[in-house]
Amino acid sequence: MSALVVFLHSHAYDRVYQAISLILTASAMGWPCHLFLFYGALASYMEGTWDDVNITDQNVKAGAAAPAWLPELEKNLELANFPSLYEMLQKARTESGGVAVCACSTSCKVLGMDYGRVREEVDEIIGLPTMLQIAGDAKHMIYI
């Protein structure tokens, strides 16, 4: 049974960083964890672009002006020189032994991903019924 389940949908750096930080911290505390990757998060994971600082605001995409804090946040994240998100996740996976990274089967299909290649990078490719069963038994669930 997982103590923490994180549903990661976004590929934005701040959200991925938060998800991986939570997984790393929980696994260091001995909590078994599951990380479920969907759409943007899965695509960027497979493309190797998680470490690209790419914070965008939905309002900006819709044509609104960027919030005043957004450029400062992006600049400071780049200057912070945080460890690689992939390295953080790998550390959680190898040192705790209690982290499972799972790809959403529907996301794989919709994104036209090669299942064999995805299987090389994750622990499992699973569907929503399995995810919900795992999440239902977890102590904590977070959607990012």
Nearest to 19 by CA among 44, 32, 36: 36
Taking residues 38-64, report their average pLDDT.
Answer: 79
Report whether pLDDT(59) > 60: no
- Domains in the chain: boundaries: 4-143
Domain with residues 4-143, CATH architecture: 3-Layer(aba) Sandwich (3.40)
Q: What are the tens digits of pLDDT across the range 78-95?
A: 787 778 899 999 999 998
pTM for the full predicted model: 0.86
